[in-house]
Amino acid sequence: MISRIVIYGLLGLISVVYIVPLLVVVLNSFRTNAEIGAMGLISLPQSFRLDAWPQAWSDFCIGGQCNGVARYFWNSVAMVVPATIISTALGAINGYILSKWKFPGSEIVFGCMLLGVFMPGQIALLPWAFLLGKLGLANSVYGLVLVHCIQGLSFTTLFFRNYYVSIPDDLLKAARIDGAGFWRIFWKIMIPLSPPIIIVTVIWQFTGIWNEYLFGVVLNSGSNQPITSALVALSMSGTTVRTYDVMSAAVLIGALPPLLVYFFGGKYFVRGLTQGAIK
């Protein structure tokens, strides 16, 4: 009984440590800048105001651009949605091939792709900058879509390959005997069995791509950057007056999509990982 109380107490303390920064940002987004200056950053709001949110969205200067975070937010949406869909689809096909349609050297191919999981993103910066320049995609959202599709392929392939290995080969053999080919087996058998791992992969890719900073700040600049790069530029701006209320609202706008994804899809994420592990 005592050990359980200690464990729950430690977990509660750790939860508080993690939740306090978020709580401070949320509270400051509903306070006025004058109140924050007078009372300090860590204080309960004396008033509840929403003025900072529309200002952060459409009327706030970041890196010389005074159109708020709206442009950068939509840049991230235009980047993360196609990159998530494409990388998940390609990962499903790769996992299907490497687990059920093996060919000479397939294990070597999988091993090489697996190296991409452990390769730091910094190693790929110069090659990507060179390639995007040659393709005419430098400093564009489309260039970042291509980067994240390829960068995420190792993870998605690993997820799907490990999941598909657990599906009995006899199921596919029976389908082949009935005359089903590569694509028919994929669409009629593998995909209907894949919702748990698809959910895991989509959540993983969406949050990872949305929160990624390195490629966005190095490969893009100005109004073509995603929101993570814009928020860092905001925090490093050299202005003498800090509008902490608007800055807090801007940070929350940038954090809302992954927070909502985890809030509504977190249980499915854990369920999908569990099903993939014990299937």
Cβ-Cβ contacts under 8 Å for 127 (sequence gap 6 or more): none
**Which segments of the chain have a pLDDT < 50?**
277-279
| Pairwise CA distance, residues 36 & 247, whole Å | 12
How far apart CA 109 and CA 64 sit, in angstroms, is 46
Same domain, 212 and 132: yes
Q: What does the pLDDT read at residue 239? A: 52
Question: What is the domain range of residue 211?
Answer: 70-278
DSSP-assigned letter for residue 31: S
My answer on whether 32 and 159 are in the same domain is no
Q: Distances from the Cα of 4 to the Cαs of 9, 11, 87, 228, in angstroms?
A: 8, 11, 43, 40
Q: What is the pLDDT of residues 181-190, one digit of tens each?
A: 899 999 999 9
Look up the pTM and report it. 0.86
Residue 231: its pLDDT value, please?
82
| Interatomic CA distance for residues 74 and 130, integer angstroms | 26
Residue 14: what are its φ and ψ, rounded to 5°? -65, -40
Based on the domain organization, do 76 and 42 belong to the same domain?
no
Q: 248 with 198, same domain?
A: yes
User: Do 42 and 151 reside in the same domain of the chain?
Assistant: no
Looking at residue 110, its pLDDT comes to 84
Cβ atoms within 10 A of the Cβ of 10, count?
10
Looking at the fold, whether 155 and 195 belong to one and the same domain comes out as: yes
* Shared-domain flag, residues 115 and 16: no
| 125, 256: one domain | yes
User: What integer pLDDT is reported at residue 36 of this predicted model?
Assistant: 81
pLDDT for the residue 186 = 93
Closest C-alpha among 165, 132, 133 to residue 151: 132
Of 165, 143, 156, 148, nearest in space to 88 by CA: 156
Evaluate whether residue 57 is within a structural domain.
Answer: no
